[in-house]
Each structure stands twice: as structure tokens, then as C-alpha cells.
Amino acid sequence: MHDRRADATASPIARLIEAFHRLPGIGPKSAQRLAYHVLRAPEEEARTLAAALIEVKERVRLCERCFNVSHQSPCSICLDPSRDRTVICVVEEPLDVLAIERTRGYGGLFHVLHGVISPADGVGPEDVKIAELLARLRDVDTEVHEVIVATNPNLEGEATAMYLARLLQPLGVRVTRLARGLPAGADLEYADDLTLGRAIEFRQEVR
Amino acid sequence: MPARVPRVIKTEALVLRHRRLGDADRIVTFLTPGRGKRDAVAKGVLRPRSKLAGHLEPATRVEVVLAHGRTLDIVTQAQTLDAFGGLHEDLDRLSTAMYLAEMADRFTIEQEDTGDLYALLHAALLRITRGDGLHLVTRSFELALLDAAGFRPEWRHCIGCGAAVSAEAIAWSALGGGLVCPACRPAHPDAAALDAATLKVLRAIQDGPYEQAARIRLTPPLAAALERVMHRLVESVAERELTGQRFITEARRAGMAATAAAERDAGAAR
Ligand SMILES: [Zn+2]
């Protein structure tokens, strides 16, 4: 067996398999299936895929207001006149914007931090887009009354949320945090103490 | 053939950190009482229905079962023993706990003997949780950790000549790791003055026991002076500033600004 690693001398098909294999969540079997699918597909399909790959690297940038990834700046969400400009939802990553948009339950603006405070990983408050959020809220034209902190419900997400709450308090904006509780389909027996404790603390009326 | 490694170990551990691996897995770094610091993969832990999820958060004490894997150990079971709920009530407590975990991680090498670091960190997290003064808990942990890591600072004698240092002209060097007498001071360009009150508390904390040092009343200027000394010391041993130190400072500053704003608002309302 020769080295499967993609180098210039490897066959084109081996290089394609290796390139797919590097993608998150793609094992060696899936990488092979994808590569042979491309091989059998019409040339047009391969060209469309290749062009989309190049375009995403060349044209996608960060929105100057919310720092979400977009092909334009300001992004379509920031420019959308139908969105509620009094609320900003703060998330860790662009994928979190997609997740919240999928719920169709939120119509306000976003702010993407591009990370979360995590001293163990060398990430401090100035390494994420917190100063940029403050600048948005200090802007004379701001209409924001509420900031919803939607960082992940783990230690780093919690520390970041508490830090934001402290920073934003002098600005007079309401700071809220996503409700925490048991995930759908969870089993009480396996729930950790912190989650179960909060689920009890933030219990709701049965209607 | 390498020495035989047990296929499965069951141990209690403190979670120091976690980092993402692929779509749904995490590498978790554990500090154990008898087996040092160990990394292990928690498979599928980011999926909402994972039985491991929530039991592998940093700054919790857990019981884990680790199976020996080809490259990395695998977490097969995890159960929270203590989530240190009191840590999460306040950002200053939380940022302090994060800093202690960062230090414990930074000053240890995987699978090497970590002495009684587990007991030190566990005690410090319990003290934060029950509401002890954060300055004292942190200084006490820093001094004990430096000691355990072989960088015990010298607060009695001159690091140059070994002479006892008089109370009138006290100076210390972060790079040298302790006091310097006036004669040796020129050999330590980074040496800085140290006041007698600060030195007295440094000695009391280093000599212990903690309960006795905990009786010292730390005024804000004294606490700030102690923090400056220990930050410089930790920084010079780690050869860089620890992010947790910065976060503690920023969080505290934001807290003071928030308090000031609240007082201003209350004053305006009167
Ligand atoms: Zn935008």
C-alpha cells in the first residue's frame, strides 16, 4: 500500500478522496463515495462545485456591523428593513446564526463574536468581537434596547455571557440569556446536576 | 514491547479543559489524583442526547472510566461528582476558577507525576465555591503550584548570596524568583522594591497553613500589591502572561464600572 496522503505525484482520484477526507465528518468510506460520484457526474456538475468552492473563498467576507459571514457588507440581515432593530442576539459562530434563523422565532439583529472567552485556549476578551459589540451599542443612532446572549451553555459560554452583562449594564440595555434546561429527548437519569438544577429553578407553569 | 498498560481505568478527576475534535467529539484534559494529567476523547459529546454531555465541563470534579485507545484514551463513562455550583454565581469566582485551571494545565506535562496538585486545585475550587476571599485563594494556589512545579519562590533569604534580607531595603526579582539583598541587586536588573507588609503576607501564605493565612485582613492596596508580585512571578515562570490573569482583571474592571453606574443611577433617582 502506498501512502494515501495527497501529494503532487498521487493520482487525481486519490487526491480528491484525500481532499474530501479532510472535511469534517467525512470518513474514508464517504470520501471514496463522494470522489466516485464526482467522477461519474457530468462535467458541468464538477465545474459548478469547483466554482462554488472558489467563490466562497473569494467573495464571502464578514459583515462590518454584525460580523456574520456574507457576500455583502452590511449583510442582508443587517439591511433588512423588516427586522427588529431594538434587539441584538449575540452568538459565538456564524453557524449559530443559521441555527437561530431556522427556528423562525427570532426577527431581530445578530452579533457574531467569532469565539468565546477561554483562558485555557489563550482566548481573552479582546480576542473576540466584544469591543465591536460595545461600539454598536454606543453608536448615537442605536435603537437597541435588549441584547440576548446566546453563547453555548457551557463554562466558557457562561463566563462570556456574565462578562457581557457587566459590560453592558452601564449602557442601560437589557441583557438576557437563553433559557437553560433539559434538551428535547433527554433522560433525567443522565442529566448532569447543573442542568437539572437549572431546569428545576427555571421551571414553568404547565398550560 | 512497551510496558503493559491497563486497558481500562476508573478514576476521579478534575476537568481542566476541553477542545473540539471534529463534528461531535471533544478532547478533554483531566487532572487525576494518582495518574497525573491525561487527555482523552469524549466521542459524540456534542450531540444533545450524549450521556457524557454536561459531565465533562471544565472546573467540575467527575468520575470517569477511560479505555486505553490506540492514539488517545477514550472516555467511556463520566459522572459529575461535584459541579461546584457556587462558582457559577459570580463572574469573579468563575474567572478565578478558569485561571486556576489554566495554570494547572500550563504548569504540568501529560502523564507526568503532578504530586499533590489534584488536592491543591480541589481545595482551591471548594474554597472559591464556599465564598472565601478570591485574592487569598488565588495567591495560596499560585505559591503552592510554583512550589510543586519546582519554582518555589524564596521569601526569606537573598537568592544571590543566601544572606538574610533586612526589613529596611527589600527588593525582589521575578526572573530570579525571590528576594535580593542590596549587594546582589545590581546582578538582577529586573529587581523591584517590595514593601514589608506585602512580604509578610507572602511568607504567611507560603508557610501556611491556609486557615491561618486566611485570618489576615487583606486591604485593597495590600491585595493589589500581592497580585502584582504574583502575576509577575507566574508570568516569568510561564514565560508569558496567562490569559486568565487578564480576564480576571478585565472582569473586575467591568464589575467596578457596572457598580459605579448602578450607584449613579440610584443617586439620580433619589
Ligand atoms: Zn450584518
Among B91, B102, B257, select the one facing A159 at the smallest CB separation: B91
A6 has a pLDDT exceeding 60: no
Chain B residues in contact with chain A using a Cβ-Cβ cutoff of 8 Å? 16-17, 19, 22-23, 48-49, 51, 53-55, 57-59, 80, 83, 85, 88, 91, 94-95, 98-99, 101-102, 105, 242-244, 246-247, 250-251, 254-255, 257-258, 260-262
The β-bridge partners of B37 are B31
Are A23 and A97 found together in one domain?
A: no
Other beta carbons within 10 Å of B252:
15
Q: Please list the alpha-helical segments (H only) found in B26-174.
A: 91-106, 117-129, 134-148
Among A24, A154, A197, select the one facing B57 at the smallest CB separation: A154
Residue of B nearest to A161 (CA): B91
The rounded distance, in Å, linking the Cα atoms of A66 and A73 is 9
Q: What is the mean pLDDT of chain A?
A: 87
Other beta carbons within 10 Å of B214:
16
DSSP per-residue string spanning B117-148: HHHHHHHHHHHHHTT--HHHHHHHHHHHHHHH
Closest by CA position to A147, among listed A132, A168, A116, A129 = A168
CB contact at 8 A, B53 and B45: yes
Domain B8-83, what fold? OB fold (Dihydrolipoamide Acetyltransferase, E2P) (2.40.50)
A3 has a pLDDT exceeding 50: no
Segment A111-124 mean pLDDT: 95
* Side chain identity at residue B56, one-letter code: L
Closest by CA position to A171, among listed A132, A141, A145 = A145
Residue of B nearest to A152 (CA): B46
- Tell me the nearest-neighbour CA distance from B239 into chain A, angstroms: 14
**Looking at the domain assignment, is residue A64 inside a domain?**
no
Q: For position A1, what pLDDT does the model report?
A: 42
Q: For position A93, what pLDDT does the model report?
A: 93
The rounded distance, in Å, linking the Cα atoms of A146 and A89 is 9
Q: In the structure grid, which three cell numbers stand for residue A105, read together?
A: 422565532
B6 has a pLDDT exceeding 90: no
CB contact at 8 A, A39 and A47: no
Tens digits of per-residue pLDDT, A147-160?
999 998 889 999 99
Are A49 and A75 found together in one domain?
A: no
Q: In the structure grid, which three cell numbers stand for residue B233, read together?
A: 512571578
CATH number at residue A197: 3.40.1360.10
CB contact at 8 A, B63 and B78: yes
- CA-CA distances (angstroms) from residue B103 to A143, B61, B87? 42, 17, 17
Highest mean pLDDT among A15-24, A53-62, B137-146, B181-190: B137-146
Q: For position B88, what pLDDT does the model report?
A: 86
A205 has a pLDDT exceeding 80: no
- Tell me the nearest-neighbour CA distance from B195 into chain A, angstroms: 31
Number of domains observed in the structure of chain A: 2
Are A118 and A181 found together in one domain?
A: yes
CB contact under 8 A, B261 and A186: no
> CA A84 from chain center: how many Å?
20
The β-bridge partners of B20 are B26
> What angle do the packed helices A28-40 and A12-21 form, to 10 degrees?
130
Are A170 and A120 found together in one domain?
A: yes
Are A179 and A197 found together in one domain?
A: yes
Question: Ligand 1 centroid to A58 CA: how many Å?
Answer: 18
Lowest mean pLDDT among A107-116, B32-41, B110-119: B110-119
ipTM confidence score? 0.90
Are A117 and A180 found together in one domain?
A: yes
- CA-CA distances (angstroms) from residue B50 to A1, A155, B5, B67? 37, 18, 28, 18
B27 has a pLDDT exceeding 90: yes
For B71, the 3-state DSSP assignment is coil
Give the best residue of A23, A92, A117 to mutate against chain B (max B CB count within 10 A): A117
Are A153 and A183 found together in one domain?
A: yes
CATH number at residue A27: 1.10.8.420
The rounded distance, in Å, linking the Cα atoms of B175 and B2 is 40
Domain membership of residue A27 as a residue range: 4-59
> For the whole prediction, is pTM greater than 0.90?
no
Q: What is the 3-state secondary structure (H, E, C) of chain A?
A: CCCCCCCCCCCHHHHHHHHHHCCCCCCHHHHHHHHHHHHHCCHHHHHHHHHHHHHHHHHCEECCCCCCEECCCCCHHHHCCCCEEEEEEEECCHHHHHHHHHHCCCCEEEEECCCCCEHHHCECHHHCCHHHHHHHHHCCCCCCCEEEECCCCCHHHHHHHHHHHHHHHHHCCEEEECCCCCCCCCCHHHCCHHHHHHHHHCCCCCC
Tens digits of per-residue pLDDT, B206-235?
998 999 999 998 999 999 999 999 999 999
Give the best residue of B20, B250, B252, B265 to mutate against chain A (max A CB count within 10 A): B250
Q: How many CB pairs under 8 A join A and B?
A: 102
The β-bridge partners of A111 are A90
Lowest mean pLDDT among A6-15, B82-91, B139-148: A6-15
